[in-house]
Structure 1
Amino acid sequence: MPSTTADEPDFDLSPERIAELAALADAAAADAKLGWYEVSSALTDNRTDADIDAIAVAFDYRLQERVEGNSNPVFHAAHLTPITELPTSVTDLWAEVVDAAASSLVRARLHDLLFALGRQPKPEHAEQACRAYLELGAGSWSSLYRGRALARALDIARQMNRNDLADDVVKQITANARESLACAEWQPGVSLRLIGRLVEEKNPTPGVDDLLAAARARYAGDPYTEVDTAMLQRRLAKGDKDALERIDREIVGIWTKAAEASAGLQKLGYLTKAVDYARDHGQTDLLAAATTALQAIGIEDLEMQTFSVPVEMSGEEIGNWIGYFTQGADWRVCLARFSGGEQGTPPTGRIDENRAQVETLKKDAPLYSMIPYSKIGGDGLPRWEPQSEDDQEEQRLSDVEMFRMQMCAPLFAKALHEIGVVHHPIREEVEEFFAERTYLPPEMPRVLADALTRYWRQDYEACTYVLAPKIETMLRTLARAIDEPVYQTQRKNTPGKYVGLGTLLSTLGKHGLDESWDSYLSTLLAGPTGWNLRNELAHGFVDQVSAPMAALLVQAALYVASLVPRADDQQAPEAE
């Protein structure tokens, strides 16, 4: 059959059979209200006949949404033979049936397919497709599909330089847009699609301004739709600096007005959009006002909810897990085990397993992967939103890592506490222990000893603030030891500075830093998709430091302190 094979079928093209096929197609089209696929569905029971299947398959193809600047049609369906590879006998059959068909739906699709294939007479197929689409656009089809038919008609008319046909289509598009705007039910997907097609015209008709003004008034209650409409106005005003300035200020105003009528996360979202748009379009005064309003939102205003999920572990399981870290010969052995995580695995787990978990989640919970993501900082202000599919993938991986990290953090906290209880390390001996490390900065043995002592005294805040900046110091020293540049000299008005933590991790990753540990350190300390704990602490946005948080920082610091360049090539870091 033509839907699945390129074999050349032999059809009966007698007038009688063609009339039968045209009548079948017309009857199938008579009940279609929502799209071309309904014609194909209506012919399903008869598709065992090769010629009926060849007619039905014409309505299986989907006309791809128009891409700006390209009116060439792309008919496609993943399971179908590309139209350019269909047997000639199939297109011969279409050409015969379309001449006998009465339905505008049938004529529009078959003439359009023949036109797209370059079937001669091409101008005739173009005109007939255009006129049939016009009939559909003025008919009783659903408003959305009527709009699509008219947009396609205008594309064909412009492609064939038929200004007479284009004028007729523009008039019908205008009428349909006004009808949609006047409808009691909101139809922005219809009206803005139609108006947007008029805006794309090389010389838009004068009435487009009025349509856009009417759409702005009609959809004023929805900031997203009103902004979409204003963006069409902006496009229409291309080259008019005064008009563009006015519209840009109006768009910022739409978001700020919506924010004033909102609360919580919704208000935060609207103000963020106002700030972004004002910044990107040079509205300095509006940027300052929107930013001030954004800063006034407190974390308590967001009404965030905490969700907790109990995880059951027996006392024996917990005891065995903690015992691995605490039952060494002395505290030195225990700290060495603790620095390596769970049997050499970081608290976030192995990265290959986490990636596999991401793929499982995408299959088992597809909605989770589709929901927009926005990360809020400890001060209640927006920090991060994925901007691309790569960003989305990075965020999904970070989510899995943070879940695992938060699951095991209390266990690490308990294990570190028990090391102190069981072995009673002496602070001076701890400092001497770390002083034996070759690649530690001179002050780090004292810092590590102080941090551990403060942890064992349950002074978690002091422990955390002592360690947070020093992990970066150790990584920087390690990068310098393998002759990597870590300092950037002054550039114009930008003073000299060291590269950031993220850059350091990326650099060390290229030199052999274990990928799982690299990802863990980024998620914990510096990655915008993760905790970003180093920055949140440095800016004072962590109100309360818990034992699990402090334990993770200690564990990360001890791991980094254990890294040395490999002896064989002095290039890649490894744990001692």
Structure 2
Amino acid sequence: MKLWIAELLELFSQDEDEIRKIAERFTSIAQELSEQDDYYSARLYLEHVSTKYRKIEDDVNWLETRIRIASSWEREASIRDQALVKMTFFENAIQSYRMIPNADRSTYGIDEIISDLRLKLRDAGKAAVDEMITISVKSPDVSDIIEASIKHVTGKETLDLALLYFCGLYSGISKSQSIESAIETLKVGVVSHLFGMVQLSGDGRKIGKEAPLMLSEQGIPEDTPKAQAIDNAIMEADFVVKTQILPSLAAILEEHDITLQGLETICSVCPIIPEQRAKLFAKGLYFGFEYDFASAIHLLVPQWEHIVRTILKESDVHTTMFDADGIDMECGLSTLLEKKEAEEIFDDNLLFEMTAFLTHKRGPNLRNELAHGLLDDDRVCSYSAIYWWWRSLKLVVNSLVHRIDDDTEDS
């Protein structure tokens, strides 16, 4: 009621003394509420006080009020039990402290406070990951798919033919189908309309956030269908790895011997692999046939980046950036894939796959997670990692098939 009356008084002319009197009274009320751990109500009063001090240009009291608001977020976080809630309040505290002008930060030790809050936010993030529960549903019977996949690759006279069939198990992710499926999901999805979403990394960092769609005045955000499409693509790839790639891989290894030398021979004549990279690419593929997918993607993912960079350079696309000192620095894969020329050069589905698996935060983000040493023992051998090993083999085999077709047409 006090706040309502204060808002009503704003419709009338108030002198500075009246404004200060209300502000001081509300500050006292906020202090009492904070002592009762009612920080939400306390902040309502303090936010009103902050606007009043700003209106009369009382910078000192405005600054102290902003610090009280930030401090209330921190104190409320300390009394909460749920780690995800703690994360939210610590983050709000940090954002509130960042509103303090740089000129006043050293006086109040703001930078040191923010540094301490970031450590608390990190610990809360780790605890939030531990608090999460696994929701499982009964898996459908996929024995017929597994059996068909094994039958698809067995009984082939040569290894080359077996690999050709192995790479033909699945056509790959379709961008258009993933987008269409995502849009349909968003149309009928109730949860996404009612609740927002926070995406945490394996070490507890918040790497993504979406507001409830029903709260958006502009409808569905532009990037939302793409993000949902990436989610769908990753789930589809996981299913393919489990039901087709892994069973057929075991069948091939029972019938054929895979040697590093043989893979080097294949990669050396592959038109898509740049010079002096055949042995590195072949070794990455070989590790996959040894079920060492951790080593496989550590070798293959950087080679994908080099392939993209090489193809763009050959198309006269700038792949570097000049800094203030005129130093020419290579762009990372994320920047390369976002270039408008990339949409014209690369196949639409392949570009979508590279973005979904290698660089987008909603996907496994293999390139960036690998480059920064963030992949642990489990995720480095995930279905996504296995899929990208198989996708690398498919890239080589398909390019060789296209080369044979081109040579046949020329002859």
316, 335, 343: which one aligns with 1:510: 343
Residues 211-226 of structure 1 correspond to what in structure 2 (within 5 A)?
Answer: 212-213=26-27, 216-217=30-31, 220=34, 221=37, 223=39, 226=42
Question: Given that residues 378 and 536 in structure 1 are in contact (C-alpha distance below 8 angstroms), is that contact kept between their aligned partners in structure 2?
Answer: no
258, 261, 276: which one aligns with 2:79: 261
Correspondence for 1:471:
304
Correspondence for 1:232:
48
| SS of match in other structure, 1:431 | helix
| SS of match in other structure, 2:197 | coil
Q: TM-score, normalised by structure 2?
A: 0.77
Report how far residue 486 of structure 1 moved.
Answer: 0.5
Report how far residue 288 of structure 1 moved.
Answer: 0.9
Distance in 2 separating the partners of 1:201 and 1:509: 59
Is residue 431 of structure 1 aligned with residue 264 of structure 2? yes
Q: TM-score, normalised by structure 1?
A: 0.57
Distance in 1 separating the partners of 2:262 and 2:29: 75
Residues 186-335 of structure 1 correspond to what in structure 2 (within 5 A)?
Answer: 191=3, 195=6, 206=19, 208-209=22-23, 212-213=26-27, 216-217=30-31, 220=34, 221=37, 223=39, 226-238=42-54, 239-262=57-80, 263-279=82-98, 281=100, 282=102, 283-297=110-124, 299-300=126-127, 302=129, 303-324=131-152, 330-335=158-163
Distance in 1 separating the partners of 2:238 and 2:177: 17
Residues 82-121 of structure 1 correspond to what in structure 2 (within 5 A)?
Answer: none
Report how far residue 384 of structure 1 moved.
Answer: 1.9
CA deviation string 1:532-563 (max 9, x = no partner): 22222333333223362331221343455578
Question: Given that residues 394 and 529 in structure 1 are in contact (C-alpha distance below 8 angstroms), is that contact kept between their aligned partners in structure 2?
Answer: no
Question: Given that residues 146 and 247 in structure 2 are in contact (C-alpha distance below 8 angstroms), is that contact kept between their aligned partners in structure 1?
Answer: no
| SS of match in other structure, 1:531 | coil
Correspondence for 1:452:
285
Q: Which amino acid aligns with 1:270?
A: F
Q: Which amino acid aligns with 2:116?
A: A
Question: Given that residues 153 and 248 in structure 2 are in contact (C-alpha distance below 8 angstroms), is that contact kept between their aligned partners in structure 1?
Answer: yes
| SS of match in other structure, 1:374 | strand
| SS of match in other structure, 1:511 | helix
Distance in 2 separating the partners of 1:197 and 1:560: 68
Question: Given that residues 521 and 556 in structure 1 are in contact (C-alpha distance below 8 angstroms), is that contact kept between their aligned partners in structure 2?
Answer: no
Deviates more, 1:238-247 or 1:203-212: 203-212
Question: Given that residues 219 and 225 in structure 1 are in contact (C-alpha distance below 8 angstroms), is that contact kept between their aligned partners in structure 2?
Answer: yes
Question: Given that residues 84 and 124 in structure 2 are in contact (C-alpha distance below 8 angstroms), is that contact kept between their aligned partners in structure 1?
Answer: no
Is residue 406 of structure 1 aligned with residue 238 of structure 2? yes
Instruction: Provide closer, same or farther for how the CA distance between residues 362 and 384 of structure 1 changes in structure 2, counting only shifts above 3 A.
Output: closer
Correspondence for 2:184:
360
Deviates more, 1:431-440 or 1:312-321: 312-321
| SS of match in other structure, 1:497 | strand
Instruction: Provide closer, same or farther for how the CA distance between residues 259 and 319 of structure 1 changes in structure 2, counting only shifts above 3 A.
Output: same
Correspondence for 2:409:
none
Distance in 1 separating the partners of 2:74 and 2:327: 36
Distance in 2 separating the partners of 1:199 and 1:341: 70
- Alpha carbon RMSD of aligned pairs, Å? 3.3
| SS of match in other structure, 1:383 | strand
More helix by share: 2
* Identity, % of aligned positions: 18
301, 324, 327: which one aligns with 1:491: 324
Distance in 2 separating the partners of 1:425 and 1:466: 18
Q: Which amino acid aligns with 1:455?
A: G
Distance in 2 separating the partners of 1:546 and 1:312: 24
Distance in 1 separating the partners of 2:44 and 2:351: 42
| SS of match in other structure, 2:116 | helix
Distance in 1 separating the partners of 2:315 and 2:74: 51
| SS of match in other structure, 1:390 | coil
Higher-RCO chain (CA-CA 8 Å, sequence separation at least 6): 2
Q: Number of matched residues? A: 371
Distance in 2 separating the partners of 1:409 and 1:197: 64
Correspondence for 1:370:
194
Q: Which amino acid aligns with 1:408?
A: V
Is residue 351 of structure 1 aligned with residue 183 of structure 2? no
Distance in 1 separating the partners of 2:94 and 2:154: 52
Instruction: Provide closer, same or farther for how the CA distance between residues 452 and 293 of structure 1 changes in structure 2, counting only shifts above 3 A.
Output: same
Q: Which amino acid aligns with 1:395?
A: A
CA deviation string 1:391-410 (max 9, x = no partner): 44443333323322333232
Distance in 2 separating the partners of 1:406 and 1:253: 45
| SS of match in other structure, 2:207 | strand
Q: Which amino acid aligns with 2:180?
A: A
Distance in 1 separating the partners of 2:352 and 2:39: 39
Structure 1: unaligned runs, 5 residues or longer: 1-176, 179-190, 568-576
Report how far residue 226 of structure 1 moved.
Answer: 4.4
Q: Which amino acid aligns with 1:413?
A: L
Question: Given that residues 320 and 331 in structure 2 are in contact (C-alpha distance below 8 angstroms), is that contact kept between their aligned partners in structure 1?
Answer: yes
Distance in 2 separating the partners of 1:424 and 1:200: 85
- The higher radius of gyration belongs to 1
Distance in 2 separating the partners of 1:408 and 1:552: 8
CA deviation string 1:366-399 (max 9, x = no partner): 2223321111112112112247823444433333
Correspondence for 2:107:
none
Instruction: Provide closer, same or farther for how the CA distance between residues 424 and 338 of structure 1 changes in structure 2, counting only shifts above 3 A.
Output: same
Instruction: Provide closer, same or farther for how the CA distance between residues 495 and 383 of structure 1 changes in structure 2, counting only shifts above 3 A.
Output: farther
Distance in 1 separating the partners of 2:126 and 2:246: 27
Q: Which amino acid aligns with 1:293?
A: K
